[in-house]
Amino acid sequence: MGAQWKAKGKAQAADARGKLFGRLAKDIMVAARGGADPALNSRLRLVVEQARKVSMPKETLDRAIKKGAGLTGEAVQFEHVMYEGFAPHRVPVMVECLSDNLNRTAPEMRVLFRKGQLGTSGSVSWDFDHVGMIEAEPATAGADPELAAIEAGAQDFEPGEEDGTTLFLTDPTDLDLVSRALPAHGFSVLSAKLGYRPKNPIDPASLGAAELEEVEAFLAAIDANDDVQNVFVGLAG
């Protein structure tokens, strides 16, 4: 679970691939407002690198850049909005959306939060740290994540649960700097983004199996919404 909730299971993973491309395309279009050249636009460069890592088709990538930069004549108006509240059993949740129609997104979020509780701005965010999140994997044998974190300028790191990846945490302003530095210290960057990390995560073991299933079902429904980019959850592990 951790700071960012991810769908589990093979079927969910396959379905998530299509959603991932759609979400990355949105991120690319928004980032490209600052310029179509990744070399001159660090925000765009990070998203483009992430898109290439997951094998987004080049034509899809190029089209998103041109559309976002206004080179196709199409108007792109995505608004960034955060929804805060609680999943069932008072598990804090922050939902990051990019929407082209808030009159559609807002009521959809209200419906989705009926099984939990939708809060007001600041009702949950106080219990999260805004950080840079860099997911990376060892590129050389014996790469030391602790040493890499120190040398690259990360604030902290968290070893992956099973897949051998490491999550490096940075100050939001250092995200690009650290992501550029990590390869020199033996790590290949898989993704780099800004996100939210819970200050006081709830231990899933404190919830019963049925209660945890309710939380998972709630999160899955939120994540399936087309306007949702990221879901950050106050659960440990």
The residue among 4, 168, 204 whose CA lies nearest residue 96 is 4
State whether residue 157 is helix, strand or coil. strand
pLDDT band of 1, cuts 50, 70, 90: very low
Res 159 pLDDT > 90: no
∠ at Cα 211 (217, 87), nearest 5°? 55
Model confidence over 178-212: pLDDT tens digits?
A: 999 999 999 998 888 899 999 999 999 999 999 99
- The answer to the question of residue 25 being in a domain is yes
Tokens 């190029």 sit at which residue? 62
Count the domains in the chain. 1
The residue among 110, 105, 118, 134 whose CA lies nearest residue 195 is 134
- The answer to the question of residue 168 being in a domain is no
Q: Are 96 and 128 a contacting pair, CB within 8 Å?
A: no
Query: Which amino acid, 225?
Result: N
- Which domain does 46 fall in, by range? 10-68
**Residues of the chain with pLDDT > 90: what percent?**
71
- The answer to the question of residue 22 being in a domain is yes
Tokens matching residue 7: 């769908």
Is the four-CA dihedral 229, 22, 166, 5 of positive or negative sign?
A: positive
- The answer to the question of residue 17 being in a domain is yes
Average pLDDT over the chain reads 89
The reply to whether the predicted model has a pTM over 0.95 is: no
